[in-house]
Structure 1
Amino acid sequence: MENLLETYGEGPVLLAVGALVGLLFGAAAQHSRFCLRAATVEVADATPGPRLSIWFISFAAAVFSVQFAIAMGWLRVSDARQLANVGSLSGAIIGGLMFGAGMILARGCASRLLVLSATGNLRAIVTGLVLTIVAQASLTGILAPSREALSSMWQVPGGEARDMLNLLGLGAGAAATIGAVALVAAVWFARRSHVRLSHMIAAALVGFAVALGWIGTYWVAQSSFEVVPITSVTFTGPSTDTLMGLVAARDMPMGFGVGLVLGVFAGAGFTALLTGEWKLQRFGADTPMELYLIGAALMGFGSMLAGGCAVGAGMSGGAIFALTAWVAVLCMWLGAMATRRLMQTTALRRTA
């Protein structure tokens, strides 16, 4: 790693690491149909099955592999922003609820929209662009004061106060064991739901990609003379960086996030072409554009408020047991299920 950094520098190496993680995540997510929104729909409809089991496998695999790496001494996450920085429980709650509602309206979370964009889904491309623009406005633009006001309502200090394992008195070994048991249970549930073996393997690879992101950036940070933040798979922030780099700079910024976005797009697109699943999909009468745009706006603001998207907070943050990440993903589930039930009730009233 030292030789690579001396030869190419931190930016290109992080870009390559992000691209490799993205290729794995994109290909695995496309093949397994990994999607938090689909899992919440099954639970809201009281029909738990394949989609829920896929998400469950991915989440358990992420927890197990990340905590196993920590227990083996391959990774240390105490400096990760999800643990070290001041967090916001109010942001996690409000942002999580907004993001959950948004992904139901837009029929996909930030990661799913990126994967679908690579398969020719024009709805996902438009929705993803709106999500990214709103996220940037929430980070540094006109919506930033509102985000900061909501985030400041209930804050939690960084360090031990944000570390759920510390609060529970558990170590990485115990957490890895819990993750392994959860993974076995998830596989059992997937078999009961008649999920194909290749889909189960791909779902596990989605979770392992999260661990690979943490380990890869940690190794770069350990070998670099510069300050390199350790991070893993997340999409809202990297998508805004990639878009701003395309429209506001002559050169694409080098970094893990940009490599991740490009890698996911390439991995998902190649997998779709290889399996014959690539096709153009447009807005139609049964896919009203206004709902997608409202959902995109809710997810863009909600993800910046919650500290990450369904993968960034829900899996990358959840796998290191960051308190605000677990609160955020719980609220994403609640917001999504409530919105799904509300939409079903409204639809029934219209047809009555």
Structure 2
Amino acid sequence: MLLESAIDTLGEPGTLALGALLIGLVFGFCTQRSRFCLRAAVIEFARHQRSDGRLTVWLFAFASAVGATQLLALLGAFDAGNARQIAARGSLSGAAIGGALFGTGMILARGCASRLLVLAAQGNLRALLSGLIFAVTAQSALTGALSPLREALSGWWTIDGGGARDLIARTGIGHGGALLFAGVWFAAAVFWARRQRVGAWGWGGAIGVGLAVAAGWWFTYAVSRLAFDPHPIQSLSFTGPSAELLSRVLFVSDKPLSFDLGLLPGVVLGAFAAAALSGELRLEGFQGGASMRRYIVGAVCMGFGGMLAGGCAVGAGLSGAAVFTATAWVTLVGIWAAAALTDRLLDQREAQPGAAP
């Protein structure tokens, strides 16, 4: 078996890092080409726009992630029972507050964590600075000065692990019902894509994003089944991995390689390759101090909110939603609601004629 040979050659940590690198390459390439972006999808929905197709692209990615993951589970090739998002105790207060903070920051920084990474790879210096601040804030919320606040907010309302966090078990719909749920949303995406004449990369790239999420779940589960040492079953997320990579860059560490450590470089390389092939590599900077303040505040909100919620727009909105963990769905709802409200109160108001500059 190819996976067993890789573990024999590279070891378990090296295999996890290499697999994450390859999955990240696919995710980064497909994200850049499809313009996948939750912020753009929320804005299109909140402003009742139906021409850009960004919501349709997000629906393709969402339905593909959920559908492919649940199909793997239905076939017996994947089981989320031991994944942290299901098995560990969670925080509903952290999911709600963190999701709201992340959604607000996503609008202010003009992109979620994964989108900032993709934009930075093609030369956007605003996204690069925002991404660095996001990572610093996430690390501070994990083990630094912001950690006590995160722990206090998380403790307000907690939920047991296992069946309490597993919406498939709680609702009784089973993997077949979850697959049907994904199929309905995929059909809706096809309908809107045809009406909006979404291009081939909008379809294919977004589906590739969703399949990368499912691949992350399957790959880490398969490695955990073959490994001698325990390894977490996980998929794509960008809050924790950003903090992890930052700590590795700043401090000497004897910790082994991991899935998180391979993911971010893979996304950067994939997005860079896509931008280079399409002629979209270009340096872009800030346009004044007010713009810079906005991006900084947004990155801080996303870094703290993502760590508090235990997931970002991809970690909760795609990976967590794909395994139907309750906290991920609370986070996703919080992101959508707060992002739409922030856009209405800030950006839509500024866009109105006669608004103050």
In which range does the TM-score fall when normalised by the shorter chain? Answer: over 0.9
Provide the residue aligned with 1:345 in structure 2: 349
Q: What is the alpha-carbon distance in structure 2 between the residues aligned to residue 305 and residue 48 of structure 1?
A: 33
Q: 2:221 aligns with which of 218, 222, 232?
A: 218
Shift of 1:347: 5.3
- Please say if residues 60 and 182 of structure 1, whose CA atoms lie closer than 8 Å, have aligned partners that are also in contact: yes
Give the aligned partner of residue 18 of structure 1.
20
Residue by residue over 1:47-71, the C-alpha shift from the partner in whole angstroms, topping out at 9 and shown as x without a partner, is 1440100001100000000000000
**Equivalences for residues 25-174 of structure 1 within 5 A:** 25-49=27-51, 50-174=53-177
Aligned positions of 1:243-262 closer than 5 A: 243-249=246-252, 254-262=257-265
Match of 1:202 in 2: 205
In structure 2, give the amino acid aligned to 1:290: R
Provide the C-alpha distance between the structure 1 equivalents of 2:223 and 2:65, rounded to a whole number of angstroms. Answer: 20
Q: Which of 304, 309, 316 is the equivalent residue of 1:301?
A: 304
1:241 aligns with 2:239: no
Name the count of aligned residue pairs: 352
TM-score, normalized by length of structure 2? Answer: 0.96
Counterpart for residue 231 of structure 1: 234
2:183 is the alignment partner of 1:180 = yes
- Distance in 1 between the 2:33 and 2:105 partners? 24
Q: Tell me which amino acid in the other structure corresponds to 1:345.
A: R
SS of aligned partner of 2:355: helix
The one-letter code of the counterpart of 2:142 is L
Q: For residues 211 and 272 of structure 1, what CA distance do their matches in structure 2 show? A: 24
SS in 2 for 1:59: helix
Distance 1:9 1:57 in 2: 35
Deviation at 1:188, TM superposition (A): 1.4
Q: TM-score scaled by structure 1?
A: 0.97
Which whole-Å CA distance do the structure 2 matches of 1:44 and 1:134 have between them? 28
Name the residue aligned to 2:336.
Answer: 333
How far off its partner does 1:287 sit?
Answer: 7.2
CA deviation profile, 1:215-273 (whole Å, cap 9, x unmatched): 00111000001001110000111111112111212679511111110100000001100
User: Using a 3 Å threshold, how does the CA distance of structure 1 residues 48 and 333 change in structure 2: closer, same or farther?
Assistant: farther
Q: 2:291 aligns with which of 288, 291, 300?
A: 288
- Any conservation in 1 of the 2:69–2:323 contact (CA below 8 Å)? yes
Unaligned runs of 5+ in 2: none
> Once the 2 structures are TM-superposed, how far is the Cα of residue 286 of structure 1 from its aligned partner?
9.4
**Alpha-carbon distance in structure 1 between the residues aligned to 2:94 and 2:183:** 30
Residue 9 of structure 1 aligns to a residue in which SS?
Answer: helix
- Indicate if the aligned counterparts of 1:54 and 1:203 stay in contact, CA closer than 8 A: yes
The answer to whether the 8 Å contact 2:138/2:242 transfers is no
RMSD of aligned residue pairs (Cα, Å) = 1.5
Change (3 A) 1:261 1:287: farther
Counterpart-to-counterpart distance in 2, 1:175 and 1:66: 10
Corresponding residue number in structure 1 for 2:4: 2
Contact 2:95 2:328 in 1 (8 A): yes
Distance 1:13 1:281 in 2: 36
> For structure 1, which runs of at least 5 residues remain unmatched after alignment?
none
- Superimposed CA distance per residue, residues 288-321 of structure 1 (whole angstroms, 9 cap, x where no aligned partner): 0000000000000000111111000110000000
Q: Give the counterpart letter for 1:129 in structure 2.
A: L
Equivalent-residue separation in structure 2 for 1:337 and 1:322 (angstroms) = 23
d(CA) in 2 for partners of 1:253 and 1:193?
47
Shift of 1:187: 1.5
Report the AA paired with residue 48 of structure 2: A
Query: Matches of 1:86 and 1:131 in 2, distance apart?
Result: 25
The answer on whether the counterparts of 1:245 and 1:253 sit within 8 Å (CA) in structure 2 is no
Q: Counterparts of 2:256 and 2:10 in 1: how far apart (Å)? A: 14
Whether the 8 Å contact between 2:109 and 2:294 is mirrored in structure 1 is yes
